[in-house]
Chains A and B, each alone.
Chain A
Amino acid sequence: MSFSNIDTMTEVSVEQREINDVSSTILQIKDLNVYVEDHHILKNINLEIPKNRVTVLLGPSGCGKTTLLKCMNKLTDLYRELEVSGSILIDGDDILNTSKNVPSIRQKMGLLSQRPYPLPVSIYKNVAYGIKLKGIRDKKLIQYSVQKNLEEVGLWDEVKDRLNSPATSLSIGQQQRLCLARGLAVKPRIILADEPTSALDPISSKTIEELFRRLKKHYTIILVTHVLRQAIRLADNVVFMSDGAIIEQGSPDELFNNPQTDKLKEYLVEGN
């Protein structure tokens, strides 16, 4: 595989995504329920995530936003106490009830956590990790992809002279961008971002938000946040959750200017 091939693969897929149907659904959740013993933590979730848009999952802490996000890339499998039912469809495949290999499903969803979790290896190896898991062994190709993804998140110039330093030597903001570059390197379809700026200073937060604005041209972003202002700044589509259920969903304009439920009205008042 040559560099031009890997570029072409990316570009073609991006273009196709843009040309095909920008507003079509990429992910569909049907009748999703999650229980922990007697607690019903996600209640009959039905949701459609539009392609190449930022969908913001908004709601108070503990309302089930993170659990919903973890269902989307089957990380709920790690928690044996969780009982998950329903279906989550991506590319027509029900990922909750499929026999297809789970790692390849997860590669479709890049995850950005609340705080950065760099792997205990160098900066370079962090980005190369997912590429190698895809079976790519050509060193030059890996090198090219590492540089390209670090450039994409605006980190290349800051780290190009210390790629072999431990990833933990970076500042928290840089680590979060590294984690984003690492996720992008496996060419996901969707970026799952779980309050990705909650541990960052305002400048680093702004950088991440700007990145999301840029990345949504090529990726679908699902952003969990309870920061109302961030939702207003970034959202194309808002899903308001409370107590494990979806209360309202729609465009930011609809939800923020004309809330229909008391819960959302109360949340907007408190949030402001």
Chain B
Amino acid sequence: MYLRRRIIDRLSGTWMVISLVTILLLPLIIGVGLYIKAAPVFEQHTLTELITSSNWAPTKGKFGFWPFIAGSLYVTVLAFIFSAPVCLLAAIHLTQYASKKLVRIIHPVIDILAGLPSVIYGVWGILIIVPFISGYLAPLFGQNTTGYSILAGGIVLAIMCIPYMLNMLMEVFKTVPMGTREASLSLGATYWESIKHVVIRHSRPGIVSAFGLSLAKAFGETIAVMMVVGNRVLSSLNPFDPGYPLPALIANNYGEMLSIPMYDAALMFAALLLLVIILVINLFFRYLIHKTQKA
């Protein structure tokens, strides 16, 4: 009997370790795989050239990825700027002010939004956001655009991020002990002062973490953004101009035009770049979390 229990104990422990190692190795395996497939492109171009050049002419063997990197960053930053304040304020309201009844109604709505396939957001972006930008917003700023733009990508991506970010922020704010809020109010603070000095301060590492995870998720988002961003190789600062983020480049071209020499390897490099940038974003936010925890 005891021997059987010991065997089960050992087996379960071993399986846990195997699962953990698999999870830990997964990014490494993906990274190494991508590197091997992308290796041919390094034989003809330096890393700096690939990252900083804007010259994109695959048929001539020119692979400058800067417009794609810039496009991805621009769309992601816009999405973050649009979604972060909205989510922060909504999460504060839902956890600190709203009645339980309202929270009960809102929760399933957020879950439904989070579960919608990204293609639906893309279609909605084409039907609503793109015409709104071309017909109303761009003319306001004296711009002439089809509406398929970095701004459209940013807005659609922001809306996609909202349920995800809001859910995380709500969970973060719920961890603030009621006693800490009561202590602040008892000292004569108003609700807002308590939120500003106690709730937000207490939640800072969690807020940073929620922002970081949302940003990393947004950076890799493909379909919806690809449908509204215009997909033109441009590195413009004008948000009404089209852009071409990295995931869209891979999704649009992989499997096609692979007869062009090195194109396959270049697209694998784009995927590797995406992986590295997301890793860097995550590491940066880990550092920020560490800093805010120490503060």
Contacts and interface: CB of A to CB of B under 8 A. Distances in A.
B187 A182 contact: yes
Contacts of B232: none
Interface residues of B, number: 21
B159 interface: no
B108 interface: no
A78 B185 contact: yes
Contact of B188 (A106, A114, A117): A106
Contacts of A114: 179
Contact of A119 (B99, B100, B188, B198): B198
Contacts of A73: 186
A111 B183 contact: yes
B182 interface: yes
Interface string A52-92: 00000000000000000000010100101100000000000
Interface string A80-117: 11000000000000000000000110110111011101
A133 B188 contact: yes
Nearest to B97: A80
B187 A113 contact: no
Interface residues of A, number: 28
Nearest to B294: A166
A134 interface: yes
Contact of A133 (B179, B182, B193): B193
A232 interface: no
A51 to B, nearest CB: 20
A75 B182 contact: yes
A104 B201 CA distance: 23
Interface in B183-222: 183-190, 193, 197-198, 201-202
Closest 8 pairs (CB-CB, A-B): A130-B187, A111-B186, A117-B179, A107-B188, A120-B202, A103-B188, A117-B180, A133-B188
Interface of B: 99-100, 177-190, 193, 197-198, 201-202
